[in-house]
A and B are shown apart, each in its own frame.
Chain A
């Protein structure tokens, strides 16, 4: 039983940053942007979270700084891709490089450490106990007592789905991706809609990054996003950006991650168990591709 609960908690913990980044990417996906900068936004978010938490001794300040930092990267994306009309792919690649470089450089400049920073005084994002549910035997241990950001990710899924499918903004967002010219003829600037999509992406990736460095661990390590931004991009491709689909995919990846940790206790080298999420991504992509091939009339 304890293994089961541990597996579920591990699943939620690994799914959260991927889900938040993927939701951010969903906004830009619907807006018709080829945005691959989630990896860098997560990394900058994780760094700024530690920065804010360290100097203000508050996890809330950390989360706010993470959101600001990731949004700053989104603003750079806006400057280059939308204002200066640089190629989106190139902008994304360069911003990811910039994120790695800048966080490594600032880690050295501000904290005078190389590699990673962990400080026991860093405040963590708290876990939330839900009053009545907490005492229900099995359900309580699973539903209650998770990290605040896990609930935030769930809430973000609902809000994103509502914004994208239930509001005028969402309609314009999808129109910007589907047919920008017809959106322009109706008097709405597609560029402006894309700016909002990128800002939303920055905020969500900032939250995801804050969870990486102040959630279950309290440390920042160089390049600690470790491909999660790319996995979130794969998730977006798999479900065409649908927020509910993203939640399912993120949970699947989280589960494979948790399973990997479980396998590690079965004498399998940790390098192989570490491959599980990436292999799961490849498997999911192949299933998706086969399904798409079947759906297409021959």
Chain B
């Protein structure tokens, strides 16, 4: 743990330095820019609350990708699963006549169901035709994008709105605000604790991790590989779907055009940079959310376009992942050298 923490920190610092170099080359002040970036994302309670709220979909899609990658299935379908989760939650919020204590859990369940169904479709195609889920989930992302866009411009469109969106869901389905903080954070905490328990402490999670590391060994050990594959796809789909539901229920309370666009690849990106570790996913989710949340404030203060953050994120991913392998190697060499110095070989007897 300390070593992975160390290499990650070194990678992030190196990436921030590269970012500073780019800013210098364009005539911006890097120190002021980074200061503004973190002031507007972590500086006061208000912006901290926004950063935490924005981190919810990042962390949930990140957990979805991490669990999937660590268990074997290359589920790249978080964007589509998020959209279907949001769509089902919106449908329930518009048409289910329930009081808040019943409606909120139902909408959360619907969101998870939406994501699980869309991921389940990919799992079904894998089971029936042996089609690689890698390409299938990517194609399903594009289809989900078009389908939900049709839904919010056609059958579910709000006739009074100027841009494509659904009407607001019933207030009973809105997640309450606790002071500055959204209660969606509680849902996130429960979901994260739940997936951690399943993945790290439960027999099912043990089998998933085993399959991810060595599918043949897992099969010989008696794991049902194809059943586990479906279970992983459904679980990770549900996590991504929940992210979509929470975005609707905690934020605009309706399905807006481009709802998922902001989180399209963020989940996969976070899983990759966190090396599929669940605590790492949580930390990087918060970190990337801080970058994205502070971006607008940064633009306001130092005129660096907020799009710069997208570049910075990609640089962080590349540098952190590349330095993880290299730095680890150097540390090994360094440790070996030091050991050799402390305990020199016994002089050869005469």
- Residues of A whose CB lies within 8 Å of any CB of B are 76, 80, 84-87, 90-91, 93-98, 100-102, 104-105, 108-109, 226-227, 230, 233-234, 237, 269, 271-272, 274-275, 278-279, 281-282, 285-286, 289-290, 292-293
Contact A278 B139 (CB under 8 A): yes
The A-contacting residues of B in range 96-140, CB under 8 angstroms, are 125, 129-132, 135-136, 138-140
CB proximity of A138 to chain B, nearest CB, Å: 34
**In the complex where A80-B322, A98-B314, A227-B138 touch, is A285 in contact with B143 (Cβ < 8 A)?**
no
**If the complex has contacts A98-B311, A98-B314, A272-B150, are A93 and B135 also in contact, measured as CB distance less than 8 A?**
no
B265 x A96 contact (CB < 8 A)? yes
- Given the complex, which residues of B lie within 8 Å of A96, measured CB to CB? 265
The listed residue (A76, A97, A234, A271) touching B269 by CB distance below 8 A is: A97
Query: Looking at chain B's contact residues, is the secondary structure mostly helix, strand, loop, or mixed?
Result: helix
Which of B135, B139, B149 has its CB near the most chain A CB atoms (within 10 A)? B139
| B322 contacts across to A, CB distance below 8 A | 80, 84, 86
Contact indicator A94/B318 (Cβ below 8 Å) = yes
Q: Please give the distance in Å from B63's CB to the nearest CB on chain A.
A: 17
How far, in whole Å, are A233 and B138 apart by their CA atoms in the complex?
11
Number of A-B contacts (CB under 8 A): 117
Answer whether residue B221 sits at the interface, using C-beta atoms and an 8 A cutoff: no
Q: Are A105 and B308 in contact (CB under 8 A)?
A: yes
Report yes or no: B129 in contact with A286, Cβ–Cβ below 8 A: yes
Q: Give Cα A91 to B130, complex, Å.
A: 26
In the complex, what's the smallest C-beta–C-beta distance from B70 to chain A, in angstroms?
14
Q: Give the shortest distance, in Å, between B16 (CB) and chain A (any CB).
A: 15
Residue of A nearest to B141 (CB): A227
**Nearest chain A CB to B55's CB is how many angstroms away?**
18
The answer to whether B135 and A285 touch across the interface, beta carbons within 8 angstroms, is yes
Tell me the B residues contacting A by CB distance below 8 Å: 26, 125, 129-132, 135-136, 138-140, 142-143, 146-147, 149-150, 153-154, 265, 268-269, 272, 305, 307-315, 317-318, 321-322, 325-326
Closest-CB distance, A166 to chain B (whole angstroms): 30
Q: Which 4 A-B pairs have the closest CB atoms?
A: A101-B310, A98-B314, A271-B150, A105-B307
* A97 and chain B: residue at smallest CB distance: B314
Residues in B whose Cβ lies below 8 Å from that of A95: 314, 318
- Separation of A80 and B132 alpha carbons in the complex (Å): 26
Q: How far is the CA of A279 from the CA of B144 in the complex (A)?
A: 11
Given A86-B318, A97-B269, 20 other A-B residues pairs in contact with their CB atoms under 8 A: A84-B322, A84-B325, A87-B321, A96-B265, A98-B318, A101-B312, A101-B314, A104-B310, A105-B308, A105-B311, A234-B139, A269-B150, A271-B149, A271-B153, A274-B146, A278-B139, A279-B139, A281-B139, A285-B131, A286-B131
Q: Is the interface of A mostly helix, strand, loop or mixed?
A: helix
